[in-house]
Structure 1
Amino acid sequence: MSVHYYCRHCQANLGTLSSWQADEQQLGFNQLSDEERKDMINYDSQGHLHVKVICEACETTLKDYPDYHANESFIH
C-alpha cells in the first residue's frame, strides 16, 4: 500500500509514502472524525490511500482570504 498526499485545492502532489506498512493510528487518521475521514481519505482500486491536505501556498491564500474556506476548491 502506498499513501499519496495531494492538495485539495490546487491538486499538487505533496508526497508519496511507497510500500507503507502502517495502520491508520500510526498515520494519525484515528484522530479524524468520520466526516473528516470521508472528506480527506480515499482508497483506490489497488488499495492505495489518497489523502487530501492543504499545501503551503493554498494555506497562505486561505489566511489572506478566509472566505475561501467555504469552497471545496478556490482554484478553477
Structure 2
Amino acid sequence: MAVIYHCRHCKHEIGRIEQQVIDTEMLGFEQLSPKEKEEMIHYLDNGDIEVLTICENCEETLGRYPHYHELDFFIQ
C-alpha cells in the first residue's frame, strides 16, 4: 500500500510513502474537513491512497497570477 501525493494542477507526482500499514492520523487527514477530504483524498482500487495537493511550481505560478485560483485547472 502507498500514499501517493500528486499536484492537483499539473498531475506531477510530488512524493510517495510505501508502507504496509499507514496511520492516516499521523498524516493529518483528520484535520481536514469532510469536503476537503472528498476533494483531496482518493482511495484507489489497488489499495493505494492518492492525495491531491499542490507542487512548488504551481504554487509559485498561483502566487504570480492570483486570478488562476478561479480556475479548476490552469495548465493545459
Same fold (TM over 0.5): yes
The alignment's TM-score, normalised by the length of structure 1, stands at 0.92
Does structure 1 residue 10 correspond to structure 2 residue 10?
yes
Structure with the bigger percentage of helix: 1
Q: Which runs of 5+ in 1 are unaligned?
A: none
Matched-pair identity in %: 45
Q: Which residue matches 2:53?
A: 53
Q: Which residue matches 2:36?
A: 36
For residues 20 and 68 of structure 1, the distance between their equivalents in structure 2, rounded to whole angstroms, comes to 38
For the aligned residue pairs, the C-alpha RMSD in angstroms reads: 1.0
Equivalent residue letter for 1:13? E
Q: Which runs of 5+ in 2 are unaligned?
A: none
The number of aligned residues is 76
Offset, 1:21: 2.0
Report if aligned partners of 1:40, 1:51 keep a CA contact under 8 Å in 2: yes
For residues 20 and 27 of structure 2, the distance between their equivalents in structure 1, rounded to whole angstroms, comes to 10
The alignment's TM-score, normalised by the length of structure 2, stands at 0.92
